[in-house]
């Protein structure tokens, strides 16, 4: 799959789109594929990459961009494999694949830096399958257990993750943009420019994001808040369909001329 995707993404770009106008449609500079929250579903990730291959072949897209909204881990059964897969893709195709940080990656990193304080919250948020996927079987670890157990588990997890992977995780971006399209994990404050958003809002959400439309013509694609089907309304597109539980992974396929559709794995 990496070889096939590399071949597609490496096609020469013969005619980059002009700077997009601010209008009622999302207009990235190049074909953009935004993949929703994976949460340990490595199987669905492979199917999503196949759907992207098919769409690129059908539309003849040049220099396509693949953006992951974050939340590669927790809940689902294959967090370690999923995390490794997206990391590999970003290394193989650094100019075409972008992986954003999600709040679950942030919780993992916080756990590693302060296990006694941050461990219970992460555990309540679906961490157990992630620990298991890295070979740590945590039958004794519960939100209310002794702080020393969390410290030991953090040391064990760190020993199972390569320093290069941890460094990559620490430096994941919080947003990506092209034309009038922005991709974030959770939300954006509608009263602030996208360049001025706080990390907490981008990772965890904002109370007015779903109710107050932006006035700058920006379209925002995001995950974090799951629904039975992708949601597109007033410049916001949510691609989180709760894949770990529903078995449905959504990708928003967006073209420079404003057309977009949803691909399902």
Extract the tokens encoding 214.
Answer: 């932006």
Which segments of the chain have a pLDDT < 50? 1-4, 8-22
Residue pLDDT, tens place only, 98-157: 999 999 999 999 999 999 999 999 999 999 999 999 999 765 788 888 888 899 999 999
**Confidence at residue 5, expressed as pLDDT on a 0 to 100 scale:** 52
Strands 181-184 and 65-68: unpaired
Q: What is the pLDDT of residue 254?
A: 97
∠ Cα 92 105 9 (to 5°): 20
Instruction: For residues 107 and 100, give the distance between their C-alpha atoms in angstroms, rounded to a whole number.
Output: 14
- What's the pLDDT score for residue 13? 41
**In this predicted structure, what is the pLDDT of residue 22?**
41
Task: Quote the pLDDT of residue 23.
Answer: 56
- Distance CA(206)–CA(219), nearest Å, equals 16
Give me the pLDDT at residue 20, please.
37
d(CA 94, CA 87): 10
For the entire predicted model, the pTM comes to 0.90
């Amino acid at each position: 799959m990496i070889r096939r995707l590399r071949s597609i993404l490496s096609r020469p770009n013969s005619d980059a789109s002009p700077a997009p106008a601010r209008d009622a449609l999302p207009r990235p500079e190049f074909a953009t594929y935004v993949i929703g929250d994976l949460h340990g579903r490595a199987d669905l990730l492979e199917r999503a990459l196949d759907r992207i291959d098919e769409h690129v072949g059908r539309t003849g897209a040049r220099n396509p961009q693949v953006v992951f909204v974050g939340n590669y881990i927790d809940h689902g059964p294959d967090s370690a494999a999923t995390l490794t897969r997206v990391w590999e893709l970003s290394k193989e195709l650094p100019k075409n694949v972008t992986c954003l940080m999600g709040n679950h990656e942030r919780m993992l990193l916080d756990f590693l830096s302060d296990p006694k304080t941050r461990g219970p919250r992460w555990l309540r948020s679906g961490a157990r399958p992630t620990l298991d996927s890295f070979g740590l079987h945590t039958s004794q670890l519960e939100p209310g257990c002794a702080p020393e157990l969390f410290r030991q588990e953090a040391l064990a997890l760190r020993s199972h993750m390569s320093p290069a992977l941890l460094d990559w995780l620490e430096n994941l971006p919080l947003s990506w943009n092209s034309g009038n399209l922005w991709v974030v994990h959770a939300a954006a404050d509608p009263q602030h420019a996208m360049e001025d958003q706080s990390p907490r809002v981008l990772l965890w959400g904002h109370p007015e994001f779903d109710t107050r439309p932006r006035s700058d013509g920006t379209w925002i694609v995001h995950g974090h808040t799951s629904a039975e089907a992708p949601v597109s309304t007033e410049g916001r597109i949510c691609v989180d369909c709760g894949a770990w539980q529903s078995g449905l992974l959504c990708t928003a396929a967006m073209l420079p001329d404003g057309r977009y559709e949803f691909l399902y794995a």
